[in-house]
Chains A and B, each alone.
Chain A
């Protein structure tokens, strides 16, 4: 079956702009979680959605937001982009949440802010 699909794969934005990233989970999975990965900070948890509800949130500013649709697809939005937002953004899908079921990662969206 198809894996986790993230679009776009690469993105270049200017400071101050906003960006929306998309994640389509594995069919049947109801949980989607988002992560930011940078060389300096490593992987950091952003938030997790389950059945359209945000279930957990990491320590990121309010500029980072997300949502999940009824078909479990999820979007992540970053407003007022800063240079430090340049990173690989990964999403992972799981059957019932990453705490208790295995997480399958997408290939990520590489965001560059100039």
Chain B
């Protein structure tokens, strides 16, 4: 069983709408949690890095939250744009890196 579970697996939204992606993890010990955006055919790009003591972190229209007690994180995308269409990967850093399977987001006009 993957120790980093992401939901939904895929998501289709209309341009301008908001959406929230979920990441639940059981990895221990915990060092930090990162959200990456990966466009098709390209390498992942870091969006946010959150440590144990951080609850919320924003990067433009992206806001990540972390609840270290329940081991849950979310990535909220505000006012979506067509360029937000990509896979979003949650990565938990422990003794090594544990990857979620990703959420495939499609933004339609």
B93 close to A98 (CB less than 8 A):
yes
Asked whether A12 is an interface residue with its Cβ less than 8 Å from the other chain, the reply is no
Q: Among B32, B45, B89, B93, which residue has its beta carbon within 8 angstroms of that of A43?
A: B89
Q: Which residues from 36 to 60 on chain B have a C-beta closer than 8 Å to any C-beta of chain A?
A: 41-46, 49
Query: CA A56 – CA B31 in complex, angstroms?
Result: 15
Q: Are A44 and B99 in contact (CB under 8 A)?
A: yes
B43 and A45 contacting across the interface, CB-CB below 8 Å = no
Q: How large is the interface on B (under 10, 10 to 19, 20 to 34, 35 or more residues)?
A: 10 to 19
Report if A102-B46 is in contact (Cβ < 8 Å); known contacts: A42-B102, A44-B99, A58-B96: yes
How far apart are the CA atoms of A43 and B99 in the complex, in Å?
A: 6
Q: Is the CB of A105 within 8 A of B43?
A: yes
Known: A99-B31, A102-B49. A107 touches B42 (CB 8 A): yes
CA distance A100 to B32 in the complex (A): 8
- Judged by a CB distance under 8 angstroms, whether A90 is at the interface is yes
User: Is A42 within 8 A of B44, CB to CB?
Assistant: no
Structural contact, B43 and A42, CB atoms closer than 8 A: no
Q: Is B107 an interface residue (CB 8 A)?
A: no
Q: What is the total number of residues of chain A having a CB less than 8 Å from a CB of chain B?
A: 20
A106 on interface, CB distance cutoff 8 Å: yes
Tell me the minimal C-beta distance from A14 to chain B in angstroms.
Answer: 24
User: Any chain A CB within 8 A of the CB of B105?
Assistant: no
Q: With A42-B102, A43-B89, A102-B49 known to touch, is A4 a contact of B97 (CB < 8 Å)? A: no
Q: A4-B43, A58-B96, A104-B46 are in contact. List 8 more A-B contacts (CB 8 A).
A: A42-B89, A42-B99, A43-B91, A90-B43, A102-B46, A106-B43, A107-B41, A108-B43
11 A-B residue pairings within 8 Å (CB atoms): A43-B91, A45-B96, A45-B99, A99-B32, A100-B31, A102-B49, A103-B46, A105-B44, A105-B45, A107-B41, A108-B42
Using a CB–CB cutoff of 8 Å, the interface residues on chain B facing chain A are: 31-32, 41-46, 49, 89, 91, 93, 95-97, 99-102
